[in-house]
Each structure stands twice: as structure tokens, then as C-alpha cells.
């Protein structure tokens, strides 16, 4: 054990208790105010040195390599303690590293079309079977919505789509909808099948594109939904509605004004957009270096202040803002359970190091919403001041009517706006398997 890391940990642990067994067998206990309790073993002296200078990157890498292991507790217990304490003053090495990350964030989030394509492929072009193991049947890889709090994952993701559809105000058939960052197609297919829209979904993931197109063909919706491998900056035609779920985190802070400028240009005069994104409650920051390197290169969770500043300069209106606080924490907790249940299959698909990487990602992501001020926000955006009604009652009425329809039919089959049946509806799928 080096004296430096001992001093660092003594100043770092201000809440809870951390027991550490160092590489030379030395045992130390670090105690602060009442809080979480955990223990860990550090297996190599080189890890101790790296943890001093860049713990945000080094700790995750050490866990992936099996060089740091929880001792008599779970990874969740250990990260809960460490992430809770990281919200304090921290230590000199991490403070310097954080300042450097913030200073160069414009470069790390510089995402021209070619770089965006590579960044998307890094995570979303993984083996599709991996996502089937822990996501819901519709492969919604974003925050679910829990109106009661006890929904299953599938129920909560269906509720999320109803929640978003209500805010889009799909008040007439055959509205032209653009889905920016359409993923595996679930939202686009839902809007076409259940709300009578004509949808164009765009993605930069070839894996997602193939699955989405196959799903549209299998559901008989290819005449109402099309999917394209297109960057949002290449879109020029106008749409009645725009929806974007879980994509804004990949835009990059230096591109926000461009993003909303394009939205302004391609949204119809009476059009409505719904933007759903992860956000941060503590103001502008930077992305954790381990997440940036291993999970979402070029990604960033924006603050509302950064987002609103860009919208204000675009000439658009924010007509509604909702903050979803713990909904993503509940979502990821369900993903973690499903991933753990299928861990052996993931290890056979990849390897043990990949499993540890993904576990670290899921645990850290959940805790970022529980103890580090992350949340989700949904912004309803328009070009015109009078594009939506004066009050938001229509959203609640539409969503409740859709939920009641699902209960009555005993299937997830929402109604269109105002409780009216959509103009055209393809047959619902009858099995849980979607092929994506």
C-alpha cells in the first residue's frame, strides 16, 4: 500500500465505510458519516497508482480486468459507496482529471457524420442477440415509464410509448412523422400501427436498420414505415411531427444549435416535436471517461440549461417540459436483473471481461440516476406559438384513453388522439417475439 492512496481514501470517504485489502495484504478501513458500507480488494500495486491519478477511468478498467474485486459485497454495494462519495469534494487527482475533461469536451464530443457513424457502431452494432437477453420484447433501449411504479418492463415500455404519443398530438390520420435515432424500430412501428401515422425512421446503425426493416415487413407495415441509414443533418424534407428518443445524448454539445436549427427547418409550421433525453440536474459537465471509452464514445448527458440555450437561439418554442427522475433507475434495475439471469449466455457470446464491462456499465448507469443527479427530460417543441392547445389536459386525456383501451382489449393497442380509433391499423402481433 502506498501512503498516497491511503491519504486519498481518507479524504475521499466522507460518507459510509470502505474496507480495503491492498495488493501487499495491508487492510485499512475508511469511515465517514453514516452511509453505505462496502469492501474491495486491490490485487496489483500498479492499480493503486492508477487510481490516484485518474480513478474515473482506472477503476472501471481494473474491475473489467479482475484487478479490483468487491470483497464480501456486490458490485452495486461498492459503486453505491464510491459514487455517493464522489459527489463530495473528491481528491486532487480526480479534480484535475475532471477539469481537463471539461476543458476538452468540445473536442471529445465533436461528432461530424463520419465520427457519429463510428460512435454509434461501437455500441449499437453489437450482436443483436445480446439486447434480446435484457431488453423488453420491443427492444426499447431507453427510459421506460412507470405510472404506478410496479409495472413489468414490457408494460413500462409500452406506457412510455403511449406517454410520448400523447405529447406528439397525433390528431389526424396519415401525419408524416420523422423518428430521429429510431433504434430497432419499435417507436416508429407503434406510431404507424396504432396511431395511423406515416413514419420515416433514421439511424446510423446498420444492425438496427436491418432489424427495423425486417420488423416492418413482418408486420405488414412497409407501406407506412420506412427506415433509412441517414444522419439527421442530411434530412431536408418537412414533417408534421418529429420524435427523438435517446438520440440527443449522441449529438455532442457543440452541435446543439445545429441540431435545433435543422429541427426548425424541417418541422411543419403547425408541427410538434417530442425530444426524450437523459439529462443532468447539476448543470453542464463532462462524460465519465470510462463510459466515453468503453460504452458511448462521443456521448454526453446534457443539462437543461445547455439544451434550452440552444433552443432559444433556434426560434422554436418549448411548449412542455417534464422531468422523469427515477424512471430510468427503475428501468436499468430491471435490465440488470435480466442480464444477470442470462450472464452465462453473454459470456458464451463474448467473454468474461465483456460481462464485467457490461455489469459495470449497468450498475454505474443505474446509480447515476439514484445518487448523482441524472434524470430524463421530455421536451415538447413547436415552431408556432399556437400549434398545441392552451393547456396540457389533452395529453392526459389521450394517454388515459389509450391505457383504458389496452386494458379493455387485453392487448397493447392504444387509441388515437381524443379516444378515436386510428384511421388504419395493421393486425397486432400475437407473440412476444418481434425479431428485434
The pair phi, psi for residue 201, each rounded to 5°, is -105, 135
Residue count (the chain):
436
What single DSSP character describes residue 36? Answer: E
Q: How far apart are the first and last CA of the chain?
A: 49
Distance CA 88, CA 9 (A): 13
Distance CA 429, CA 152 (A): 19
Q: Do domains 1-89 and 110-399 have the same CATH topology?
A: no
What is the assigned CATH class of domain 110-399? alpha beta
Three-class SS state of 305? helix
Which CATH number is correct for 1-89, 1.10.8, 3.30.1050, 3.30.450, 3.30.420?
3.30.1050
Per-residue pLDDT of the chain (436 residues), as tens digits, is 778 899 999 999 999 999 999 999 999 999 999 999 999 999 999 999 899 888 999 999 999 999 999 999 999 999 999 999 987 655 555 556 666 665 656 667 767 777 777 777 777 778 889 999 999 999 999 999 999 999 999 999 999 999 999 999 999 999 999 999 999 999 999 999 999 999 999 999 999 999 999 999 999 999 999 999 999 999 999 999 999 999 999 999 999 999 999 999 999 999 999 999 999 998 998 889 999 999 998 889 999 999 999 999 999 999 999 999 999 999 999 999 999 999 999 999 999 999 999 999 999 999 999 999 999 999 999 999 999 999 999 999 999 988 887 766 655 444 433 334 344 444 343 333 333 3
Q: Where are the domains of the chain?
A: 1-89, 110-399
Helix (H) or strand (E) holding 199: strand 198-203
Distance CA 403, CA 415 (A): 8
Write down the pTM of the prediction.
Answer: 0.88
Amino acid at each position: 500500500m502506498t501512503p498516497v492512496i491511503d491519504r486519498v481514501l481518507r479524504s475521499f470517504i466522507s460518507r459510509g465505510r470502505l474496507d480495503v485489502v491492498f495488493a501487499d495484504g495491508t487492510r485499512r478501513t475508511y469511515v465517514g458519516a453514516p452511509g453505505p458500507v462496502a469492501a474491495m480488494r486491490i490485487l496489483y500495486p500498479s492499480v493503486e497508482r492508477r487510481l490516484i491519478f485518474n480513478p474515473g477511468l482506472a477503476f472501471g478498467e481494473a474491475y473489467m480486468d479482475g484487478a479490483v474485486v468487491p470483497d464480501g459485497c456486490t458490485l452495486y454495494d461498492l459503486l453505491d459507496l464510491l459514487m455517493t462519495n464522489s459527489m463530495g469534494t473528491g481528491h486532487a487527482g480526480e479534480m484535475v482529471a475532471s477539469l481537463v475533461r471539461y476543458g476538452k469536451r468540445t473536442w471529445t464530443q465533436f461528432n461530424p457524420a463520419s465520427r457519429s457513424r463510428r460512435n454509434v457502431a461501437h455500441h449499437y452494432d453489437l450482436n443483436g442477440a445480446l439486447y434480446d437477453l435484457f431488453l423488453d420484447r420491443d427492444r426499447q433501449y431507453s427510459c421506460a415509464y412507470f405510472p404506478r411504479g410496479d409495472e413489468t418492463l414490457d408494460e413500462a415500455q409500452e406506457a412510455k410509448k403511449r406517454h410520448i404519443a400523447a405529447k406528439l398530438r397525433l390528431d389526424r390520420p396519415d401525419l408524416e412523422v420523422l423518428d430521429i435515432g429510431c433504434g430497432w424500430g419499435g417507436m416508429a412501428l407503434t406510431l404507424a400501427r396504432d396511431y395511423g401515422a406515416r413514419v420515416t425512421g433514421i439511424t446510423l446503425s446498420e444492425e438496427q436498420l436491418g432489424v427495423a426493416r425486417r420488423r416492418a415487413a413482418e408486420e405488414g407495415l412497409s407501406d407506412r414505415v420506412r427506415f433509412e441509414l441517414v444522419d439527421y443533418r442530411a434530412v431536408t424534407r418537412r414533417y408534421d411531427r418529429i420524435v427523438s428518443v435517446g438520440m440527443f445524448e449522441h449529438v455532442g454539445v457543440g452541435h446543439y444549435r445545429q441540431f435545433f436549427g435543422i429541427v426548425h427547418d424541417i418541422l411543419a409550421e403547425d408541427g410538434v416535436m417530442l425530444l426524450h433525453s437523459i439529462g443532468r440536474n447539476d448543470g453542464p459537465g463532462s462524460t465519465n471517461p470510462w463510459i466515453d471509452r468503453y460504452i458511448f464514445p462521443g456521448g454526453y448527458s446534457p443539462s437543461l440549461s445547455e439544451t434550452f440555450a440552444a433552443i432559444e437561439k433556434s426560434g422554436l418554442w418549448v411548449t412542455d417540459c417534464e422531468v422523469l427522475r427515477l424512471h430510468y433507475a427503475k428501468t436499468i434495475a430491471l435490465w440488470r436483473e435480466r442480464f444477470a439471469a442470462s450472464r452465462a449466455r453473454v459470456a458464451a457470446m463474448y467473454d468474461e471481461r465483456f460481462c464485467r464491462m457490461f455489469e459495470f456499465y449497468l450498475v454505474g448507469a443505474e446509480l447515476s440516476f439514484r445518487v448523482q443527479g441524472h434524470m430524463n427530460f421530455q421536451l415538447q417543441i413547436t415552431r408556432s406559438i399556437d400549434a398545441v392547445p392552451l393547456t396540457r389536459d389533452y395529453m392526459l386525456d389521450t394517454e388515459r384513453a389509450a391505457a383504458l383501451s389496452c386494458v379493455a382489449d387485453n392487448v397493447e393497442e392504444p387509441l388515437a388522439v381524443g379516444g378515436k380509433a386510428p384511421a388504419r391499423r395493421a393486425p397486432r402481433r400475437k407473440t412476444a417475439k418481434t425479431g428485434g
